[in-house]
């Protein structure tokens, strides 16, 4: 099923109504009215909600794991020392002696190859394009303002990589802030990704894109801000042969502030999106091309459509919603998913505490 809101099937082809985006007052219509408009435009959906909480709350899983997660309301999470979710077990450079770099050339040399290594980035480094990161690598920013601007990092055919505490800004097209391509066991944690909304949607590329059969990835405690295309998982509708059975990604405790869409957009894979704060989006979670997505205990504010399974691709996705605070945003669930119990231990804090927890702890400078 297609809509006219956000057409396109590949990374670079999403069509955005620029008049709605540049005029913030018009973009930020009341969420209920926007939800009704979206529902009428799409038609035929099995679930369309514009309420303050999930329409699927009554169908929550009764598993012991889910019940335990629901009961853990008294303790707020703190920064993990190891990843939770599909990226569990990622160790990066482990206990290798750290190397601190302050220039682009030194950074490129330090992250090359597959030997275990820990690379600390001190200061903000300008770059054009992307730097390839080898396997068994940990990249850490020093303080709250160290990282890269103008381009980003690429993990291509790499495994066991950790990227933490980096400020990554304004990745000029065709470079993403971080691209994960044909890579496995990745933890992206406590980074700040940002651009601006002063240019058209294709001036910058994605903040974090995961594609080409990548797998077992956790994206946690990051801040994504002031951008059109947030996080794409699966680059095209035509890549089923490579992506099916892969693209397993967990997003938890991330803060998306004024990111237009792709929060995330997931094709073919399996996504667990829990305890995130989405603020100022047109479209949040987008499940398409048969992707299975569990959307749990998140908070949406000033968002038109929190979750959709029915836009832009020839095949709809699947979604299960539970415990979310939709804040008046609509949902467009054409197909209810079967992914209800992730294959790992986690505790989802209740939506009531997500905003205070995430705004206090997500992004750089919090480790």
Kindly list the distances between the CA atom of residue 67 and the CA atoms of 86, 330, 350, 354, in Å, as whole numbers in the listed order. Answer: 20, 26, 12, 18
- Considering 262, 288, 301, 311, which one is annotated as catalytic? 262
Q: How far apart are CA 312 and CA 330, in angstroms?
A: 17
Enter the tokens of residue 27.
């973009």
- State yes or no: is 301 an active-site residue: no
- If one counts every other C-beta atom within 10 angstroms of the C-beta of residue 149, the result is 18
| CA-wise closest residue to 305 among 262, 360, 355, 245 | 262
Question: Which DSSP letter does residue 157 get?
Answer: S
- If one counts every other C-beta atom within 10 angstroms of the C-beta of residue 293, the result is 28
Parallel, antiparallel, or unpaired: how do β-strands 330-333 and 47-49 relate?
A: antiparallel
* Residue 21 · residue 280 · CB < 8 Å: no
Q: How far apart are CA 84 and CA 344, in angstroms?
A: 8
Q: What HEC string does 73-137 produce?
A: CCCCCCCCCCCCCCCCCCCCCCCCCEEEECCHHHHHHHHCCCCCEEEEECCEEEEEEEEECCCCE
- State the catalytic residues: 262
């Amino acid at each position: 099923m297609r809509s006219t809101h956000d057409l396109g099937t590949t990374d670079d082809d999403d069509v955005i109504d620029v008049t709605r985006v540049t005029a913030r007052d018009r973009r930020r219509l009341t969420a209920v009215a926007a939800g009704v408009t979206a529902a009428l435009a799409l038609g035929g959906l099995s679930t369309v909600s514009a309420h303050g909480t999930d329409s699927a709350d009554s169908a929550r899983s009764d598993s012991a794991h889910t019940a335990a997660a629901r009961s853990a309301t008294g303790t707020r999470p703190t920064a993990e020392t190891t990843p939770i979710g599909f990226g569990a077990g990622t160790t990066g450079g482990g206990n290798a002696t750290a190397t601190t770099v302050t220039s682009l050339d030194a950074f490129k040399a330090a992250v090359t190859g597959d030997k275990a290594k820990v690379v600390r980035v001190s200061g903000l480094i300008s770059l054009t394009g992307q730097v390839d990161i080898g396997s068994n690598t940990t990249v850490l920013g020093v303080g709250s303002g160290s990282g890269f601007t103008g381009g980003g990092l690429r993990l291509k055919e790499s495994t066991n990589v950790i990227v933490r505490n980096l400020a990554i800004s304004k990745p000029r097209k065709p470079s993403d802030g971080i691209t994960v391509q044909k890579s496995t066991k990745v933890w992206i944690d406590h980074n700040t990704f940002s651009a601006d909304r002063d240019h058209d949607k294709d001036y910058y590329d994605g903040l974090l894109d995961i594609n080409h059969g990548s797998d077992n990835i956790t994206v946690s405690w990051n801040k994504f801000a002031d951008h059109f295309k947030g996080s794409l998982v699966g680059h095209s509708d035509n890549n089923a042969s490579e992506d099916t059975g892969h693209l397993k990604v967990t997003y938890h405790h991330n803060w998306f502030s004024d990111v237009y869409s792709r929060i995330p957009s997931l094709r073919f894979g399996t996504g667990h999106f829990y305890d995130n704060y989405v603020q100022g989006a047109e479209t949040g979670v987008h499940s398409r091309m048969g992707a299975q997505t569990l959307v749990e205990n998140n908070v949406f504010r000033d968002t038109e459509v929190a979750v959709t399974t029915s836009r832009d691709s020839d095949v709809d996705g699947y979604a299960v919603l539970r415990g979310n605070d939709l804040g008046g945003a609509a949902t467009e669930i054409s197909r209810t998913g079967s992914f209800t119990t992730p294959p790992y231990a986690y505790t989802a804090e209740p939506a009531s505490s997500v905003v205070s927890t995430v705004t206090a702890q997500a992004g750089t400078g919090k480790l």
